[in-house]
A = this chain, B = another copy of it.
Amino acid sequence: MAGFGPGNPELLTLKALSALQQADAVFYDNLLDASYLDNYKAEKVYVGKRRGNHAYSQAEINNMLLEAALEGKNVLRLKGGDPLIFGRGIEEYNFLAERNVEVELVPGISSAMAAAADALVSLTARGVSSSLAFVSGHDLDKLIIPRADTLVVYMGASNQKPLAKIMIEQGWDEATPLVVVRNASYKDAETRRYTLRSIQESMNLLPSPAIMIIGWTAAETSQQLIKPAV
């Protein structure tokens, strides 16, 4: 089981690439650049949840992985981002390990790192941000927002405005800067900057898939960058 990273195949690790080259079967989900897999000989099975008609339940995915492994195939489960952050990699891992299937976990670049690099925003920064939290923004009813200096929101594209409102209600400064990155790691990545206040009135939001990076580090960096050259 390997993380593919945020989407751009250049962010695949050498270890994941090696697994891909050796695989007999690849079960993959929402990698936007899935045509990349055509370079490899393995049988490909799409088991993601975004394209509608091919949606499998988690139990079905587990069983498909198990069956392929029991057939003696070298199976690669390729997950977007990192398998252990906001995926359900551990459920698949546990299901297989409990059935005595040997599984190796290969980390991947998570979207937060790619979004930070695209937005030129450091996730931690000396004197500005010494803690960093990741949450999922797709279900605001269940969301508990940690008080970290920098907050990264995965899967929050449809909740950008209500999320900012909740954060202000919970005591975050309404002038707190934030940056939203769509298609992190891709050549067509887009970045927009707001504050917790301004995003609530914006007519110009980015649609999914988007990552939000919220905190003063988002502004500090840009202020430093517009300093005149020495």
Task: Report the copy number of this chain in the oligomer.
Answer: 2
CB within 8 Å of B: which A76-95 residues:
82-86, 88-91, 93-94
CB neighbours of A107 from chain B (8 A): 6, 11, 109, 113-114, 116-117, 185
Is A144 in the interface zone, CB < 8 Å from B? yes
CB neighbours of A145 from chain B (8 A): 131
Chain-B contact segment, one of A98-106, A175-183, A198-206? A98-106
Is A227 in the interface zone, CB < 8 Å from B? yes
Interface residues in A, total, Cβ within 8 A: 67
Q: A-side interface residues toward B, CB under 8 Å?
A: 3, 5-6, 8-15, 17-18, 82-86, 88-91, 93-94, 97-100, 105-110, 113-114, 116-117, 120-126, 130-136, 142-148, 185, 221, 224-225, 227-230
